[in-house]
A and B are shown apart, each in its own frame.
Chain A
């Protein structure tokens, strides 16, 4: 019982604090990948009209709820593994996070409600809500991630820059997802927009990193470290790869490489944080981490459950694989 008793030691002597630091960020990145393409589809929804809109909603319909759970898991894991960080970070970004919640509520409710009332204004209202929610959620989450990584609060240039970057990333993912899931004109549009999205993302990231380097001295050591350089170079390669794959109509590759970009973005957040987990309050990963007993329990739970989650998602994506039919409703 030395692992689960009052005087527990870390499981197999593993560096659990570091592992959970990576895991929490990986949950966030997975959210930005999976729900990211839902957000992207929501933003692109603005440029389409009705028959295509129905197809777009049908394409994300079975997935978005499962995808949003990654945000719940990110929040829960951060709370469970680094409780003082959850407390300090979330209370410091009070209004911003309620903005995220509001945006997510609009995004989640709109597709359910738009068809409930046979009135064009009602439908248009919820369509607008869907677009606004889908754009605002990634923007505000990007701002949140920037503030977290740099120990800032409020709405400065870094928050804005990363917010826009995340929106561009989601649009790229959403376009790639549409290319994979639809047919005909919408599929062609998806590929075209994935190219544009990936290039815009790359340009925006380069500008933003330039700004950070020039005006946020705290970011310089990370950006010039070997890890930082690797992440930036990989981002450039994968953004170009996304565009290239979209041009060649390799739809799976497009989506996979666009999704990988969100892991790289979050990796950059992690590098900026390390070895702290909340620069604003100066808490280090070690100091903020829960004691060994709770850490061991959480680790066992995650080792059992995360594969189950991945399996569940695999089943879901398999069942709904292939291009969407326009008639999917329950």
Chain B
């Protein structure tokens, strides 16, 4: 039996880590689908119709998986985090309700038209449905990130007594729902979603181009579109991430100290671009001052302050609360940053090859893209680990600790039972999802011959059962 608090933490971590994959795919695919749909409906190149229909399959599977795993998270606030919900629900519940009413509904209703309705509505109607699905998926993120960012930088509330309990009461909606973290988080997350999907598209395309597919135009167009997206999103992510880190330094200093593994308050703190643990203890208990690696003297101070290498970073030992699990935060942050820079390199590499006319010939580039197909997701996961583990022990920064947020009625038996269920069920779900995505990519795009004929539905239903193999 796992203690209910520990089980709830693990379960929420697991259910979030798995869930986030699916919205990243759907939010990240959304702008691509809008573009493909636009080019399909008003352009003359038939390849865009096939691109639209191909990536729509992936969107559909991801959306369904996102729905069923997202509902779990909403319910968990009640089932596992009842103390949190009773305490902060007056402020926190609103964004969740509005997310359902505004965003999810938009997405889910127009998804029906988007998936099944091409031959039932006109061009404008179909494009509108596609656009609304895309907007819906981003609006969803807006409200969820709004609720999350309030927990990181809470404001606009008062603590009051209600029914004999102390609770959070909303007093200033503008301050609460436009809290300082929100814009940083929103841009970072949405850009990360597009970047991750661009990497996946580029990786799949490189995989098919290397294998020498007969269906050249499809994958080459996909690769080009992905490279354009990479060239925009990869540098933006790094530049914006730099500002985000400075914002964390001022708004959540203990999280920043954990990200940099600074225990004693110091100035002129080095930034380790590459850090190598020389002992197991160095891995499990990283301390910036003791690390072996390539450290830029004063680098962390420089980054935190925006240019002052002598800036002071407050150490973890100076905070009254216990530190978060430093090793997890420290290494996750490093991995995320390293991946971010790798994506920039990859984007410029591909862009350069495109200019020299060798985008389809550089085998090493193709291998690099293939390897990186899922690394965007790794960066998203490590980024969220920094955000969520780094704020521990707080569930609401400086207001409520996670250990006090769990349902009081929850028994160890119940919590262990569902945790075990999720471990098994989500492992199966992920395995099936990866398999389905692999199959969709293996299967390749819909046949060129069924072109843009908008008996497309008939064509594809047929295609699904007949052309089961390689071409």
Residues of A within 8 A of B (CB): 4, 6, 61-63, 65-66, 68-69, 71-73, 75-77, 79-81, 83-84, 86-95, 97-98, 101-102, 104-105, 108-109, 112-113, 115-118, 283, 287-288, 290-291, 293-294, 297-298, 301-302, 305-306, 308-309, 312-313, 315-316, 319-320, 327-330
Contacts of B425 in A (CB 8 A): 102, 105
A313-B109 CB under 8 A given contacts A87-B78, A101-B75, A102-B425:
yes
**Stretch from B110-118, B215-223, B320-328 forming part of the interface with A:** B110-118
Candidates B86, B94, B421, B460; contact of A330 at CB < 8 Å: B460
**Please, could you name 20 A-B residue pairs with CB atoms under 8 Å apart, sorted by A?**
A77-B100, A83-B86, A83-B88, A83-B90, A90-B75, A90-B78, A90-B79, A91-B82, A91-B408, A98-B75, A98-B418, A101-B75, A104-B68, A105-B68, A293-B173, A294-B90, A312-B109, A319-B112, A329-B464, A330-B460
Assess whether A102 is in contact with B421, with CB atoms less than 8 Å apart: yes
* Interface residues as binary, B68-93 with A (CB distance below 8 Å gives 1, 0 otherwise): 11111011011110110110111111
Assess whether A86 is in contact with B85, with CB atoms less than 8 Å apart: yes
Assess whether B61 is in contact with A112, with CB atoms less than 8 Å apart: yes
Assess whether A87 is in contact with B67, with CB atoms less than 8 Å apart: no
**Stretch from B281-289, B337-345, B409-417 forming part of the interface with A:** B409-417
B115 CB → nearest A CB, Å: 4
Q: Count of A-B contacts with CB under 8 A?
A: 249
- Give the secondary structure class of B's interface: helix
Assess whether A79 is in contact with B113, with CB atoms less than 8 Å apart: no
Max chain B Cβ within 10 angstroms of own Cβ: one of A88, A283, A287, A319? A319
Residues of B within 8 A of A (CB): 53, 56-57, 60-61, 63-65, 67-72, 74-75, 77-80, 82-83, 85-86, 88-94, 96-102, 104-106, 108-113, 115-118, 120-121, 158, 163, 167, 169-173, 407-410, 414, 417-418, 421, 425, 429, 432, 435-436, 439, 457-458, 460-461, 464, 468
Tell me, in angstroms, the Cα distance from A76 to B169 when the chains sit together: 18
Contacts of A291 in B (CB 8 A): 90, 169-170
Candidates A66, A83, A117; contact of B93 at CB < 8 Å: A83
Max chain A Cβ within 10 angstroms of own Cβ: one of B68, B172, B439, B468? B68
Q: A94-B414, A293-B171 are in contact. List 6 more A-B contacts (CB 8 A).
A: A63-B112, A66-B112, A90-B77, A94-B418, A305-B98, A305-B105
A86-B101 CB under 8 A given contacts A94-B418, A291-B90, A315-B109:
no
Assess whether B410 is in contact with A76, with CB atoms less than 8 Å apart: no
Contacts of A83 in B (CB 8 A): 85-86, 88-90, 92-93, 167
Assess whether B100 is in contact with A76, with CB atoms less than 8 Å apart: yes
CB-based closest 5 A-B pairs? A83-B89, A90-B78, A62-B112, A76-B97, A80-B93
Assess whether B89 is in contact with A87, with CB atoms less than 8 Å apart: yes
Tell me, in angstroms, the Cα distance from A107 to B56 when the chains sit together: 21
A104 (CB) vs chain B CBs: closest residue: B68
Contacts of A306 in B (CB 8 A): 101
B74 (CB) vs chain A CBs: closest residue: A75
Max chain B Cβ within 10 angstroms of own Cβ: one of A63, A95, A288, A312? A312
A314 (CB) vs chain B CBs: closest residue: B109
